[in-house]
């Protein structure tokens, strides 16, 4: 992505690829900070298991691209992830051997079909078709690469925040609002373990539908329900209402 951004910026500025660009340097620092924030063990593991990033089409798409197993940063994070996922050394060694076959096109992965399909098939389909000889990393790849990209968790959190930071409590401090959202969400999750919830007697704002928080049974949820019938939590919201207002 960074390489593609650089190409676009340098093309717009009519500069050679080796020249200095103050604008690109600013954009690069922002992208690098975002990458560092999002670069976690599972991210690097998923990147390492995506066959697309080993394909000739991808590697030739921009200068300086290398396959994930040759990137020292990604390789380090991948190894840490495997240590956490496979605590047994013998099992982890077997997984490393499977990954070596996959990433270096060894053994069964040396087939032309295996290599040609890397850049043309969906990663999930690729592993389903070609990953049977490496069952351990096939199972891991299907789990990681099958994760959907969704903002539903953020949307649900914002909806809860909107419910707490209402017109009646518009002077509540950001930290207090954050704490109330945290407590509210955790109380809601804990309520799912109770017998009342399993019997359908316990509320759960919107359930897994984040956009229904203000519309349950055709109307606004009663404010008292926000506490999950916890008097202490209800007191936190209402006892100091005059002070907040």
Q: Average pLDDT for consecutive 10-residue bins of the chain (245 residues)?
A: 87 87 90 78 90 91 87 91 91 94 90 88 93 92 84 75 78 86 83 74 49 41 39 44 46
For 19-42, give the DSSP string.
Answer: S--HHHHHHHHHHHHHHHHH--HH
Task: Say how many C-beta atoms besides its own lie within 10 A of residue 212's C-beta.
Answer: 14
Closest by CA position to 229, among listed 199, 197, 181, 182:
197
Is 192 found in the same domain as 105? no
Domain hosting residue 211, numbered range = 152-244
**pLDDT score recorded for residue 182:** 87
Is 107 found in the same domain as 45? yes
- What number of H helices and E strands is found in the chain? 14, 0
Q: Where does a domain end: 89, 112, 145?
A: 145
Task: Give domain status of residue 88, yes or no.
Answer: yes
**pLDDT score recorded for residue 38:** 67
**pLDDT score recorded for residue 223:** 37
**pLDDT score recorded for residue 238:** 43
**pLDDT score recorded for residue 94:** 94
**pLDDT score recorded for residue 220:** 38
Q: Where does a domain end: 118, 145, 172?
A: 145
Is 138 found in the same domain as 46? yes
**pLDDT score recorded for residue 201:** 61
- Using CA atoms, how far residue 178 sits from 61, 167, 194, 200, in Å, is 43, 17, 25, 29
């Amino acid at each position: 992505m960074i390489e593609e951004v650089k190409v676009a910026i340098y093309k717009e500025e009519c500069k050679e690829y080796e020249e200095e660009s103050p604008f690109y340097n600013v954009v690069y620092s922002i992208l690098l900070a975002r990458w560092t924030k999002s670069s976690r063990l599972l991210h690097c593991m998923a990147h390492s298991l995506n066959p697309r990033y080993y394909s000739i089409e991808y590697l030739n798409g921009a200068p300086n691209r290398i396959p994930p197993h040759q990137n020292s940063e990604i390789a380090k994070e991948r190894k840490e992830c495997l240590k956490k996922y496979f605590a047994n050394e013998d099992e982890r060694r077997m997984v490393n051997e499977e990954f070596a076959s996959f990433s270096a096109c060894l053994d069964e992965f040396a087939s032309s079909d295996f290599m040609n399909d890397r850049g043309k098939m969906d990663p999930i389909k690729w592993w389903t078709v070609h990953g049977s000889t490496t069952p351990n990393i096939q199972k891991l790849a299907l789990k990681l690469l099958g994760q959907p990209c969704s903002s539903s968790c953020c949307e649900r959190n914002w909806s809860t925040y909107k419910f707490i930071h209402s017109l009646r409590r518009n002077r509540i401090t950001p930290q207090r609002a954050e704490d109330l959202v945290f407590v509210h969400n955790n109380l809601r999750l804990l309520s799912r373990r109770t017998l009342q919830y399993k019997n359908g007697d316990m509320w759960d704002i919107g359930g897994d539908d984040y956009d229904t928080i203000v519309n349950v049974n055709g109307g606004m949820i009663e404010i008292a329900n926000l506490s999950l019938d916890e008097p202490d939590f209800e007191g936190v919201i209402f006892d100091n209402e005059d002070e907040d207002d």
